[in-house]
């Protein structure tokens, strides 16, 4: 079943739904954080072809789901220039991946990708459009520009995906009223609504989740708790956060799961992977056909060799999330087992 790509038109929402009865079985969703498979800029930050894709070791884990989603941190574009950095600067960060990497993402099983982040515009509007075209060609739904979302039918269950970011030409996580309207409209014609949000401060100092607006180098990065809870109130069934590049708390809010940061998943060459920054996860969640949680697990990963992800058998990311959740969201009725299994309290 091909992904249906749509744009929500302001004021009026036009949806083309496919009729079908949902079977009484669970829907399995897998989600990851930031993905940047290697960059043309500056030169020397693409994985050698003879070594293969950086996703090859983790591919069986992420593709084994009805829906797999993540955040594409940058563009898929074989041309284009940037005015953000000097040509060979190592102190400035812009990301332009080869277009052929779109095939790599499709092979890994990605169904939905967020383009709502602070690097999608690194090489200008033409590369944004080209990224969308490459994902379309590989049957990967995307959400980024204002009003955009993706939709897919799985065994008769209608699933919507919409992504938000605190800056740039994206669905805005700062404009809460518009964001609520978008999610509410999606909830009307979908059984499950998945929300991705790129926001919050960055780095090791940002691991703890504040109940306040966050700033990074003076930029408003949003109030992540307020945004996430209001999107659930509006009809979202899952909130997947990323952007801080480190683990953050998770919580159960009105029976819906919020994961405030899945951190770095597959980020080759240009990301700081020191200390806890090298850990990420695959969120593995099952819903019933009404969008209610059935069970879940946080499968820890670790990046090695400049950013190649592997399963972390020591479960360090899930241990971090459990500790952070108890500290920052103690009112939540969810904890993590030693292997990352999510325990939903009665």
Number of H helices, E strands in the chain: 6, 21
Q: Which residues in the chain show pLDDT less than 50?
A: 9-23
pTM of the full predicted structure? 0.92
Q: Which of 117, 116, 161 is nearest to 141 (CA)?
A: 161
CATH of the domain at 154: 3.60.21.10
For residue 17, being part of any structural domain is answered with no
Residue 243 is predicted with a pLDDT of: 95
Residue 85 is predicted with a pLDDT of: 75
DSSP conformational letter for 212: S
Residue 270 is predicted with a pLDDT of: 79
Q: Please state whether beta strands 96-97 and 293-304 pair in parallel, antiparallel, or not at all (unpaired).
A: unpaired
Range of the domain at 216: 4-10+24-344
The region that residue 147 occupies, defined by phi over 0 for left and psi between -120 and 50 for alpha, beta otherwise, is: left
For residue 61, being part of any structural domain is answered with yes
For residue 104, being part of any structural domain is answered with yes
Residue 23 is predicted with a pLDDT of: 42
Residue 223 is predicted with a pLDDT of: 98
Instruction: List, in order, residues 6 or more apart from 100 with CB less than 8 Å away.
Output: none
Domain count, the chain: 1
For residue 295, being part of any structural domain is answered with yes
Give the three-class secondary structure for 263: strand
pLDDT tens profile 249-269 = 999 999 999 999 999 999 998
For residue 19, being part of any structural domain is answered with no
């Amino acid at each position: 079943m091909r992904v249906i790509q749509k744009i929500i038109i302001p004021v009026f929402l036009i949806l083309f739904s496919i009729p079908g009865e949902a079977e009484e079985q669970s829907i399995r969703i897998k989600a990851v954080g930031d993905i940047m498979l290697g960059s043309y800029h500056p030169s020397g930050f693409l994985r050698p072809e003879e070594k293969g894709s950086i996703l090859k070791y983790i591919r069986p884990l992420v593709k084994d789901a009805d829906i797999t989603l993540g955040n594409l941190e940058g563009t898929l574009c074989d041309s284009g220039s940037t005015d953000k950095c000097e040509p060979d600067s190592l102190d400035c960060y812009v990301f332009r991946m080869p277009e052929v990497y779109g095939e790599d993402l499709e092979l890994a099983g990605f169904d939905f990708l967020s383009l709502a982040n602070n690097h999608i515009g690194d090489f200008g509007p033409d590369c944004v459009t080209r990224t969308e075209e490459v994902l379309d060609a590989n049957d990967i739904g995307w959400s980024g520009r204002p009003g955009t979302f993706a939709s897919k039918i799985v065994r008769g269950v209608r699933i919507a995906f919409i992504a938000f970011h605190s800056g740039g030409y994206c669905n805005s996580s700062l404009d809460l009223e518009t964001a609520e309207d978008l999610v509410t409209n999606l909830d009307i014609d979908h059984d499950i609504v998945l929300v991705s949000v790129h926001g919050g401060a960055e780095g090791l100092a940002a691991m703890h989740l504040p109940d306040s607006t966050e700033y990074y180098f003076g930029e408003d990065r949003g109030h992540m708790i307020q945004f996430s809870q209001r999107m659930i109130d509006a009809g979202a069934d899952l909130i997947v956060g990323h952007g801080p590049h480190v683990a953050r708390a998770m919580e159960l809010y009105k029976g819906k799961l919020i994961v405030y940061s899945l951190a770095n998943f597959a980020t080759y060459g240009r990301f700081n992977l020191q200390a806890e920054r090298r850990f990420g996860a695959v969120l593995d969640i099952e819903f019933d056909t009404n969008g209610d949680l059935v069970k879940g697990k946080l499968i820890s990963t670790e990046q090695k060799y400049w950013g190649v992800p592997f399963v972390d058998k020591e479960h360090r990311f899930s241990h971090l999330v459990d500790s952070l959740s108890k500290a920052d969201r103690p009112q939540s009725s969810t904890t993590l087992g030693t292997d990352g299994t999510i325990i939903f309290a009665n």
